[in-house]
Amino acid sequence: MSAGLSAAKTRTALRATARLSGELLLILVMLAVTLWVLGRMWPVVWPLVVGLLLTTLTWPPARFLRRHGWPPALAAAVVTLTFLLVVLGIVALIAVPMSSETDELTHGVVEGIQRLREWAAGPPLNIGDDQISGAVDSAVARVQDSVGTITTAVASGVGSVVNGLVTAVLGVFLMFFFLKDGPRFLPWLARQLPGRLATDVPVVALRGWETLGAFVRSQALVGMIDAVFIGLGLWILGVPLVLPLAVLTFVSAFVPIVGALFAGFVAVLIALVSNGLTDALIVLAIIVVVQQLEGNVFQPIVQSRGLGLHAAVILLAVTLGGSLAGIVGSLLAVPVAALIAVVWNYVREQLVDPPEKSAPAGG
């Protein structure tokens, strides 16, 4: 005969479940309020994030100069100016060769369109010029009908570009101040906080800083892998502008999804107008294979070693970040997940009981 449920134990379990549910609900409300506040402060938070990421990239040379007796302000100024010169050099390395090839590329695009029309006019499609002209007229009519929507989209795009430039400028200024005054931040923060927070918060901040540095270095390594393999494929096929395309691929690795699509589109377009359809399809296949390996193999492995996160966690974080906040969410998903892991690991360290010391033998 089976024993019945204990009423006292059932009430205790229900009370414990209710208390736990209430605590979890409060935590979720706190997180929601925090996210809402961050959203309202995003015009300030986003340049701050950009400045921190740039600082993690430029801090090693600044630290080297400071250790060799350079004043902090001078070291920060030299590193900032060098960073700006490198960025301008990268832009020139991409833009100058492309501008010199503009006439050839334009001629290739026109010739490619003409070849496409000739191919469409032949079997098996047998599309005549009248049908092509009708399709063009129909497309023009649709564009004219949608001119209001297009104008709005263009205005939104221009606004996004302007906001991006303002964010970049603010990020560079903040990078300079972080490079100059960064080492004094943690001691200052410790003096402002009461009690145990004066110890805990600086430790977590330092670990978070090291984690951000690992993230930026891993992104740079992944971008280098992409640039080398894709550039090698373009060089073997004899596609022009190999070096600018490789540099563009490396830079675009820091912008998830859109950066890879843009760099791949440019490479395929140049291969199409210079080498023909066959080589363009081969370039497209190379880019797809390399980016699949990068997204599913190289990036998770490199970032999991540098950030202490499992590869599956990184993939899920990028997916969740992209679904919640688009490109920005994809960009920040991995460092945010790593920072959450830093906080969790520190809290877990503080909650674990210290090991008991065994009594000395003998006596």
For the chain, what are the domain ranges? Answer: 42-183, 193-351
Confidence of residue 152 (pLDDT cuts 50, 70, 90): low
- For the ranges 12-16, 46-50, 89-93, 216-220, the maximum mean pLDDT occurs at 12-16
* Alpha helices by DSSP H, 68-146: 72-100, 102-121, 129-145
Compute the distance between CA of residue 176 and CA of residue 172 in angstroms, rounded to an integer: 6
E strand or H helix at 317: helix 311-351
Q: What is the pLDDT of residue 82?
A: 93
Amino acid of residue 164: G
Nearest to 215 by CA among 296, 304, 292, 298: 304
Mean pLDDT of all residues in 257-275: 76
Q: What is the pLDDT of residue 322?
A: 74
Q: What is the pLDDT of residue 153?
A: 46
Q: State the Rg of the chain over Cα.
A: 28
Q: List pLDDT tens digits, range 220-244.
A: 887 888 888 888 988 888 887 788 8
* pTM for the model: 0.64
Amino acid of residue 227: A
- For the ranges 2-16, 17-31, 345-359, the maximum mean pLDDT occurs at 17-31
Nearest to 299 by CA among 329, 330, 274, 343: 330
Amino acid of residue 115: R
Matching residue, tokens 């009981």: 353
Q: List pLDDT tens digits, range 1-20.
A: 455 667 788 888 888 898 99
Eight-class DSSP state of 183: G
3-state helix, strand, coil in the chain (%, to 5): 85, 0, 15
Compute the distance between CA of residue 303 and CA of residue 14 in angstroms, rounded to an integer: 42
More confident residue, 175 or 128: 175
DSSP string over 267-304: HHHHHHHHH-HHHHHHHHHHHHHHHHHIIIIIHHHHHH
Confidence of residue 150 (pLDDT cuts 50, 70, 90): very low
What's the chain's average pLDDT? 76
Which of 259-263, 296-300, 342-346 is predicted with the least confidence, judged by mean pLDDT?
296-300
Do residues 31 and 324 make contact, with C-beta atoms less than 8 angstroms apart? Answer: no
Confidence of residue 363 (pLDDT cuts 50, 70, 90): very low
**Which residues lie below 8 Å from residue 264, measured CB to CB, with a gap of 6+?**
284, 287, 288, 291
Distance of alpha carbon 43 from the chain centroid: 18
Q: Which two tokens stand for residue 358?
A: 């065994």
Do residues 76 and 85 make contact, with C-beta atoms less than 8 angstroms apart? Answer: no
Do residues 190 and 174 make contact, with C-beta atoms less than 8 angstroms apart? Answer: no
Confidence of residue 85 (pLDDT cuts 50, 70, 90): very high
Q: List pLDDT tens digits, range 94-145.
A: 777 766 666 665 665 566 566 666 666 666 666 666 666 666 566 556 645 5
More confident residue, 301 or 180: 180
3-class secondary-structure state, position 5: coil
Other CB atoms within a 10 A radius of the CB of residue 19 amount to 10
Q: What is the pLDDT of residue 104?
A: 61
